[in-house]
Amino acid sequence: MTGLQVSLETITRDERSVALALRGEFDLANISIVRIALADHLRHGRCVIRLDMNGVEYLDSTMLGVLVEAHQRCHDKGGSLILIGVPDRVRRVLRIAGLDRLLLTDGALGVGVEPGGSERLQRPAMGRD
């Protein structure tokens, strides 16, 4: 399915966290860009990773596997992988794969900004429809 160029841009980063923007179609042919970037940030202690998914046009099961792996590695280090700006087309793929109950997303979790600028996250209820 790869035909479009993909990009991964660092938006912000500090010692513990990073925000990355993804653009394009992510599949087996180009997934290494994401895998390498996430591994590098985790290696440098950034275990709170926010991925802006707004520009993702397509993702296959390989990309889903990378997201699950990153989620687990962040969790193991006391952090979180948070998907933000998730378009409906990507949200639908996550739901079909059953990952909407595992991965933190802004819409499903009610991400909000509290006074003082800190994020508030709520996990989805396991018994939801």
pLDDT in tens, 62-121: 999 999 999 999 999 999 999 999 999 999 999 999 999 999 998 644 444 333 334 444
CA dist 21 and 67 (Å) reads 14
Residue 129 in any domain: the answer is: no
Q: Is residue 126 in some structural domain? A: no
Specify if 60 maps to a domain.
Answer: yes
Rounded to the nearest integer, the mean pLDDT of the chain is: 85
Q: In this structure, what CATH number is given to the domain that contains residue 66?
A: 3.30.750.24
- Residue 90 to residue 99: CA distance in whole angstroms: 11
Q: Within a domain: residue 28?
A: yes
- Per the structure, the complete domain to which residue 60 belongs is given by 7-120
Closest CA to 60 of 38, 82, 19, 89: 89
Residue percentage of the chain with pLDDT more than 70: 79
Domain annotation covers residue 128: no
13 pLDDT more than 60: yes
- Contact partners, residue 52, CB within 8 Å, separation at least 6: 11, 19, 20, 21, 22, 84, 85
- The reply to whether 127 falls in a domain is no
How many structural domains comprise the chain? Answer: 1
